[in-house]
Amino acid sequence: ASPFRAGDAAEIHGLVRKPENNGKKVAIIEWLEKEERFKVEFPSGSTTKIKPENLKRVEAPLAPPVVREIEEEEAEKASPRREKAKKRRRSSSSRRSGKRARKERSQEQHGVPQVRPLDVRPPDVRPPDVRPPDVRPPDVRPDAAPRMKGVGKGGKGRNIQISKTLARVLRHTATSQGVKVQADGFCLVQDLLVLPDLRSLGCTVEDVKAAVQTNDKKRFEIKEDSQSQVWIRAVQGHSMKVVEDDSLLKKLAHSDPDLPTVCVHGTYRRFLESIQRNGLIAGGGISNRNHVHFAPYEPHDGRVISGMRYNCEVAVYVDLPAALKEGVPFFRSANEVILSPGINGTVPAKFLLKEAAHKLREKLKKEMSAGWNIINDFEQQRGEEMRKQVDTWSVNLESEKEAAVARRAEDGKRWVEKFAEVQRK
C-alpha cells in the first residue's frame, strides 16, 4: 500500500542531484504507477516527481498560499473602463464560443467528422544575449553638406543644387538679402556663403568653384582679386536693377563685323497672337527680368544656351540690323546669349519677321514629310524586291513540279518492264 494519499503533506530529503530541494515541504498529488514516483506540488505551484524513499510524512498541514486581497480603497479606485473592457472581452469570447458550438452541432447533424488541431507548442528557445561592443565613431563633422537628393551620382546632383541656388541669388535676390552687388554684377563669394540658401547646403568656396566649372550653360563668371578675395556673378538673366547693362554686357552695333546673322526667340503658339500685336516683352510680361532673351543660332542647334526652351513650338525671328538702326539696344553676354531691354521694356512688333514666325513648325513639317517620303520609298523598294523573289520562287516551283512528273513517269516505265519480265519467267 502507498504510504501517502493525495493531499498529504511531505518533506523532501536525501536528494543528490538537486540537493537544494531537500527540506522543502510539498503536497502529494498522485502516484505514478509506471514511473514508480509520486507527483508532488511545491507551495509555489510548480510540480515534480519524487521517489517514495525521498519523502517523509509531515504531520502539520501545509500553509495555504498567500493570496493578497484587494483592499476596499483599491477596489474603489479600479477604473470603470477596465471593467467595461473585461465585459466586452467576455461577451466577444462567449459569442465566438456560441458560434463554434453551433458549427460543431451542424457538422454532427450532417455527419461531418470533427478534426481538432493538436495543441503543439514550439519549444521555448531564446537566442543568447549577445550584445555588440559599445564602439562609438569619433565626432568628426564633414565640411560638405549633408547627403541630399542626387548626391549619390559622384557629386553631380549637389553641384546642380548649388548651381540653381547661385543662379537664383545672383540674378534676383542678392540685394534683397543684404549682399552688396556691383554694377557689373560681381559680389563676394564670402558674402553669399552666409546666406541661408547656401548655408543650408554647407557650401564652401571650393564647392562654388566646382559648380561654376561644371555648369553646362556657363551661367557664371568667377575671379580672384589681388587680395585673394573670390568674386562671382551671373552673366545674364538678371532682374536686379542695380546691375547695369553697359558694365555687364557687350553692346551690339549695326556696323559690328561679327553681328549675328540669326536672332531668334522661342515661344508657344498660345502667345504668338499677343507677340505679333504687342511685340516681345522683357520677362514675357510675367517676370521682372531686365531683358528679352534671344539665341544667335538656329533652333535645334546644339550651341543654343538661352532664348528658347527645348519644347518651344514657335520660333520668332527678329530683324536685328533694322532694330539696331532704329535705336533698339541689343547686347551679347559672355555665354553667347543675345539680350535686349527693348524700348520701355518691349521689342516692337514691327521688327519681327512675321513670314518666319512659324519657321520652326514648317521645318518640323518638312522633316516629317521627308521622313514619310523615305518610309514610302523604302516600302516601294522592299515591295519590288519581294515581288521579284515571289516570281523567282514561282519559276523554281514550276520547274520542280515538271521534274517530279518526269521522275514519276520514268519510275512507272521501269516498274512495268520489271513486271513484264517477271511474268515471262
State if pTM tops 0.85.
Answer: no
pLDDT at 418: 85
Considering the domain boundaries, does residue 86 fall inside one?
no
Split into its structural domains, the chain has a count of 4
User: 332 with 255, same domain?
Assistant: yes
Tell me which residue has cell 515538271.
402
Work out the burial of residue 222: count CB atoms within 10 Å of its CB; fewer than 13 is exposed, 13-18 middle, 19 or more buried.
Answer: middle
pLDDT at 271: 86
Considering the domain boundaries, does residue 261 fall inside one?
yes
Provide the greatest CA pair distance for the chain: 136
Considering the domain boundaries, does residue 242 fall inside one?
no
pLDDT at 61: 52
CA dist., res. 382 & res. 334, Å (int): 52
**Among 330, 357, 384, residue at a domain's last position:** 357
User: 186 with 257, same domain?
Assistant: no
CA dist., res. 315 & res. 400, Å (int): 65
User: 353 with 376, same domain?
Assistant: no
pLDDT at 419: 86
Residue 347 C-alpha cell reads as 521689342
Question: What range does the domain containing 327 cover?
Answer: 249-357
CATH code where residue 21 lies: 2.30.30.40
Considering the domain boundaries, does residue 270 fall inside one?
yes
**Among 42, 57, 72, residue at a domain's last position:** 57
CA distances from 176 to 181, 188, 240, 243, 286 (A): 10, 15, 9, 13, 20
pLDDT at 151: 41
pLDDT at 92: 67
User: 365 with 412, same domain?
Assistant: yes
Considering the domain boundaries, does residue 74 fall inside one?
no
Considering the domain boundaries, does residue 410 fall inside one?
yes
pLDDT at 362: 61
User: 366 with 398, same domain?
Assistant: yes
CA distances from 162 to 108, 155, 235, 415 (A): 77, 11, 16, 96
pLDDT at 110: 57
User: 351 with 255, same domain?
Assistant: yes
Q: What's at 350, amino acid-wise?
A: K
User: 333 with 381, same domain?
Assistant: no
CATH code where residue 172 lies: 1.10.10.970
User: 284 with 347, same domain?
Assistant: yes
Considering the domain boundaries, does residue 101 fall inside one?
no
Considering the domain boundaries, does residue 317 fall inside one?
yes
pLDDT at 118: 47
CA dist., res. 37 & res. 33, Å (int): 7
Residue 235 and residue 334 in contact, taking contact as beta carbons nearer than 8 Å: yes
User: 255 with 330, same domain?
Assistant: yes
Q: What is the mean pLDDT of each run of 10 residues along the chain (425 residues)?
A: 81 88 90 89 90 84 45 51 72 67 66 50 50 46 41 62 92 92 94 91 91 87 91 92 91 91 88 88 80 87 78 86 93 92 91 62 71 85 88 89 90 87 82
